[in-house]
Structure 1
Amino acid sequence: MKIAVIDGQGGGIGKYIIERLRKELPEQTEILAFGTNALATAAMLKAGANEGASGENAITYNCGLVDLIVGPIGIIVANSFLGEVSPRIAEAIASSSVPKILLPVIKDRIEIAGYTSQPLPHLTDDLVSRVRRYFEYE
């Protein structure tokens, strides 16, 4: 199983996701880090990703080559992360037939009705639980 973790800016959310997935998933799980920039990718590689790549082409190319995509919801919003998520990145991720599990963490111009703010560790607990359930059925 291959999981793509996508993040931008400093990669802090992606780093935290990867650390948690590494603790919870089988050792043979392949976790790939895709950052909108090299700093984000480096942080996720340091957290335990098997491989990583940076930039628009790496992200758009790999969206269909993995079993699951995870990251903050901003990865499907064009121009989020202070413009780091290009419209092409957002479209490639959102249009990919690959299932996505996204954290409702967004600072940009979007509010999610019905969502109550929770700390990142609680949100990540839910994300990891959903990833585990997803792979139990395969």
Structure 2
Amino acid sequence: MRIAVIDGQGGGIGKAIVEKLRRELPEDMEIIALGTNALATSFMLKAGANEGATGENAIVFNVGKVDIIIGTVGIIAANSMLGELTPLMAKAIAESPARKILLPLNRCNIDIVGADKSQPLPHLIDSAIQNIKALF
């Protein structure tokens, strides 16, 4: 199974996700770090991703070749992450046949009705990892 972790800006969320995936999932799980910038990709690789790629073309090319995509809800919103996530990236991610596991962080003016906004990021990541584990 191949999992793509998508992040941008400082890469902290992607790094936390990769670290948790590495601790919780079998070692043969392939984790691909897809960053909107080199810093984000670098942090995810240091956290234990098998491979990494950066930028619009890398994201558009790879999202159709993975089984699961994980990131914040902003990865399916054009121009999120202060404009780092391009409309083409958002379209490719949304149209990918991969299962999407999205963290409901409201940094792009999207409110997910029913999502508990009081949960801290580590708890959201734990819930996302549990969703991935349930797929096996």
Which category describes the TM-score, using the shorter chain as reference length?
A: over 0.9
1:98 Cα deviation from its structure 2 partner: 1.1
> Are positions 1:51 and 2:51 aligned together?
yes
What do the CA deviations read for 1:58-87 (whole angstroms, capped 9, x no partner)? 000001111111111100000000000100
Percent identity reads 61
What is the aligned-residue RMSD (CA, Å)? 0.8
1:109 Cα deviation from its structure 2 partner: 2.1
> Are positions 1:105 and 2:84 aligned together?
no
Residue equivalent to 2:134 = 133
Q: Name the CA distance, whole Å, in 2 between partners of 1:110 and 1:70.
A: 17
> Are positions 1:24 and 2:40 aligned together?
no
Q: Moved runs in structure 1, 4+ residues, more than 3 A? A: none
Q: Name the CA distance, whole Å, in 2 between partners of 1:27 and 1:115.
A: 31
Which consecutive residues of structure 2, in runs of 5 or more, have no partner in the other structure? none
Secondary structure, counterpart of 2:101 in structure 1? strand
TM-score, with length taken from structure 1: 0.95
Q: Name the CA distance, whole Å, in 1 between partners of 2:45 and 2:93.
A: 20
**1:1-16 maps to which residues of 2 (within 5 A)?**
1-16=1-16
Secondary structure, counterpart of 1:64 in structure 2? helix
Residue equivalent to 1:35 = 35
Q: Name the CA distance, whole Å, in 1 between partners of 2:93 and 2:104.
A: 16
Instruction: Kindly provide the amino acid, as one letter, of the partner of residue 26 in structure 1.
Output: P
What do the CA deviations read for 1:79-123 (whole angstroms, capped 9, x no partner)? 000000100000000011111111111312222222221101111
Q: Name the CA distance, whole Å, in 2 between partners of 1:106 and 1:65.
A: 28
Number of equivalences = 135
Instruction: Kindly provide the amino acid, as one letter, of the partner of residue 131 in structure 2.
Output: R
Secondary structure, counterpart of 1:111 in structure 2? coil
Instruction: Kindly provide the amino acid, as one letter, of the partner of residue 112 in structure 2.
Output: I
